[in-house]
Structure 1
Amino acid sequence: MRDDDLYAEGPAGCGEGEPDATPRPQTLLLTFFGGHVLGRDVRVATASVLDVLRRVGVSEHATRSTLSRMARRGLLHRTRRGRSVYLGLTPRSREILRDGEHRIWRIGAVNARWDGTWTLLGFSLPESWQRQRHVLRSRLLWAGFGALQGGLWIAPSAVDVCALLDGLEAAEHVKVFRARALPPTNVAELVRDAWDLTAVAARYDRFLRRWDASSPPGVADDSLARQLLLETEWLQVIRQDPRLPREHLPADWPAERAQRLFRRLHAELDPAARAIAAEVLDTIAEEEPRAATATH
């Protein structure tokens, strides 16, 4: 994942809205494209996307504006067929969506197989490099780093730092090490200093309160809409979680409980959501992007 604009919008890359608030249109659109376009080699009609976002309460104007902005940023490309415009993924958006897919379905909400290795990253940037410092810190938060002290950051796993720093001028000022904590280091205290465990747990608790109900407030009685909101909100939560080792988390840590709820609800909604999507989505086969893109 290397998209500075998305990093700048928060660790989720899609905004930092709380799970009990309506996610932003771009957040919902990325979830939609990840679930119904990624890996299918298709493009989807703009009219279909408008229909899906309308189901979760997003206006046509907001959806069109967001789609246009995503196209300008290289996240979508357009193809006109007759009077219809179809939207396809780009290499950049595929990378973003695969990252989300990996976080949701492959690595889990808790680091249960930690080998004791920490990634340490230190940097010292000129005072005038405010933009570079902001982007670097955003990328570090995205990758699960916590600020230990001064310009020293730490992550509870091996991190592909070369990919993380790709394209950054600040990369020349960064030093990276792999390490293990040795006595007299108090690892529990280190974790509390580097990460706000209370805030991370609170996000999981809000997700549980909102979705562990027969009818979550503000959610339409539509399986496609429910699943889209559920997955979007879950991704917002886990992308702001550094996945700390289980042995260094409180005994009542809510992440695994929330993950079980998410996966159960997603599976329950999936058949009906897929049926609705098959009915309402107008798609065409993917093809190589043309030099000129269509407009709305």
Structure 2
Amino acid sequence: MKPRSLMFTLYGEYIQHYGGEIWIGSLIKLMSHFGISESSSRGATLRMVQQGYFNARKIGNKSYYSLTNKGKRSMLDGVSRVYSVRSVKWDGYWRILTYSVPEEKRELRNQIRKDLSWTGFGMISPSTWATPNPLEKQVMELIMEHGLEDYVILFTSSSIVSHDNEEIVRRGWNLEEIGIAYEGFIEEYRKKYEILKDRAWNNELTDEECFIERTELVHEYRKFLFLDPNFPVDLLPENWSGARARELFYNIHQLLSIPAIRYFESVFEQASDGEVVSDRNRAINPFINMM
């Protein structure tokens, strides 16, 4: 696991539900379970501060870290997509974005391509991206954040005259390839689920193991955010493997959640200058109000 990606997983899964701030010592211990050394954890934390994702503050000789607004947007976007409802009906509108960014701003052009891909847009022709999902607000925030108002046009359309919806999907996304990736996840984690169920039934799983397994599960499943555009059910193939992978993810997640949270709470140290209001139920079951 890369330290930055793991940090976003830890904040999204655990820390945000306990006040959103953690002592660096606790963070280092949590990350050590995944092969991240103390020096790597400290270095990654410093880079997150420099890049505007972390706030840092000291109390005595201890340092505490929380997400900035920029960091929260990145974290919450990923969390909402992991745990949100997936079986929504399409409203029939394509959101289409075109851009013409000058060569001297090519770094911004590359960044907006990455951001559009992350949010689920697909490139249907050069400099033209589309999605069937209602992401207008999110994309406008992205445009303003990068100062691209003069170079981008975002509009909606209920139909694309030259191509039918199936052809647009084929142009922008490789659902077959994504489906194969989901099948790989299912094959690996179905076997793991059976083993974990047996061990849980026999009281052989420790809280620490459950924390590690839950965190690795979420970290692996989050990779599909970079692949799966999260289409409305109307545009997906029949017997979509993504739906079966999600059900398996939910079952394993809930099997591990309570002991995983107990372990996190045993390591987590809050700041001494205030009372942390925790939402333990949401930490145990982030699917609440999202299913």
TM interval, short-chain normalised: 0.7 to 0.9
Residue number in structure 2 paired with 1:254: 241
Is 1:26 matched up with 2:4?
yes
Q: Look up the SS of the partner of 1:172 in the other structure.
A: coil
Q: Contact 1:43/1:285 (CA < 8 Å) preserved in 2? A: no
CA distance in 1, matches of 2:47, 2:160: 49
Any stretches of 5+ residues in structure 1 without a counterpart? 1-22, 288-296
TM superposition score normalised by structure 2: 0.81
Q: Look up the SS of the partner of 1:190 in the other structure.
A: helix
Is 1:180 matched up with 2:167?
no
CA distance in 2, matches of 1:164, 1:81: 35
- 2:122 equivalent among 133, 136, 146: 146
CA distance in 2, matches of 1:275, 1:171: 47
Number of corresponding residues: 260
- 2:267 equivalent among 271, 275, 280: 280
Is 1:36 matched up with 2:45?
no
CA offsets 1:18-65 (integer angstroms, 9 cap, x no match): xxxxx3111111111122221432532211111111112222222121
CA distance in 2, matches of 1:125, 1:87: 36
| Equivalent runs, 1:120-135 vs 2, <5 Å | 120-135=96-111
CA distance in 1, matches of 2:177, 2:30: 32
Q: Contact 2:90/2:232 (CA < 8 Å) preserved in 1? A: yes
Is 1:170 matched up with 2:148?
yes
Q: Contact 1:118/1:154 (CA < 8 Å) preserved in 2? A: yes
Is 1:236 matched up with 2:214?
no
- 2:187 equivalent among 204, 209, 222: 209
Residue number in structure 2 paired with 1:15: none
CA distance in 2, matches of 1:140, 1:158: 13
Is 1:117 matched up with 2:117?
no
Q: CA deviation at 1:149?
A: 1.1
The AA in structure 1 aligned to 2:96 is L
Question: Alignment RMSD, CA only?
Answer: 2.3
Greater per-residue helix proportion: 2
Q: Which one is further off, 78-87 or 188-197?
A: 78-87
- 2:71 equivalent among 85, 88, 93: 93
CA offsets 1:151-173 (integer angstroms, 9 cap, x no match): 22111122223212113243312
Q: CA deviation at 1:123?
A: 1.6
Residue number in structure 2 paired with 1:6: none
CA distance in 1, matches of 2:22, 2:67: 10
CA offsets 1:187-229 (integer angstroms, 9 cap, x no match): 212211111223322332232233222369xxx9711111111
Residue number in structure 2 paired with 1:156: 132
Taking a change above 3 Å as real, the CA distance of residues 28 and 129 of structure 1, as seen in their structure-2 partners, is same
Q: CA deviation at 1:92?
A: 2.0
Q: Contact 1:44/1:281 (CA < 8 Å) preserved in 2? A: yes
Q: CA deviation at 1:271?
A: 0.7
Q: Which one is further off, 136-145 or 194-203?
A: 194-203
Identity %: 24
